[in-house]
Structure 1
């Protein structure tokens, strides 16, 4: 695998892992309500630097390793395969060379992350369990729901389309409410002719 492909797959793994980490923590940097409410405090910034970014980096490393092992794109990787690298069959090889480049968004290095792996590997497990919970109602039904493994790309798309916190409406619900109202209004206007 050439250096450009390694960098591209690592960048993809980092981006996907950050989306999954933010969802597991209920954090969305685009959540204007939280910013306006003053919830993005100095303490939250410290948490991002010392917990969220390292947890995301560990998940990205597991996704990067697993995608290289299976020779698939990160988006096409079963999320459960990351668990092999986070404490399962391949755990001992997680921090072996070659490692992807360390980006300066976070202080430290791979050795510091390896020392904290027990505190940081829960994000992938959280998403696997959340997916089971979210799809339990349709499991085994004949509605066309896929029984294929949960792919990272599918989970990321589901997270981006859904709420950033549990028990809140999806981000796109206001747009669909508006569209439904416009359609209902148009139908009423047409039926009144």
Structure 2
């Protein structure tokens, strides 16, 4: 019995060591372009969906909108004639053309992720689950975005959950 338990634990450990993960470098962004690195987010494929595991620091405490954006760029680009942080990333990833922001488990943009919590010391380390995203390959070639404010996962009273400015971004390769 003891040998069986040891073998089972070893097998589970080996499976988790070989689970495919993506590591995304995340940098501050501003209207001037891409800035300093704030950390990484690893993404792991599970039977329940993709798990995003942030290891970020130097952020403003509180709840932040967290999304996958359409284009694989974190560069500043014009918005209404003025440079805008990470605007080259485009909007929230919406391959099904729903045209609406929603919960990560709902029927809105596929890029709508659970909000990210940043502690009082500026760190984000709490993993979030995206249950509608099943495969790492489907998110490659997009950008991961952190917004200044929270996200109510609706288009009311403000569009796109009211997350506001783009403050950190990473290209998903």
Which band: TM-score by shorter chain? under 0.3
Greater per-residue strand proportion: 2
Greater per-residue helix proportion: 1
Name the TM-score, length of structure 2 as normaliser. 0.26
Q: Return the index of the structure with the highest Cα Rg.
A: 1
Name the TM-score, length of structure 1 as normaliser. 0.24
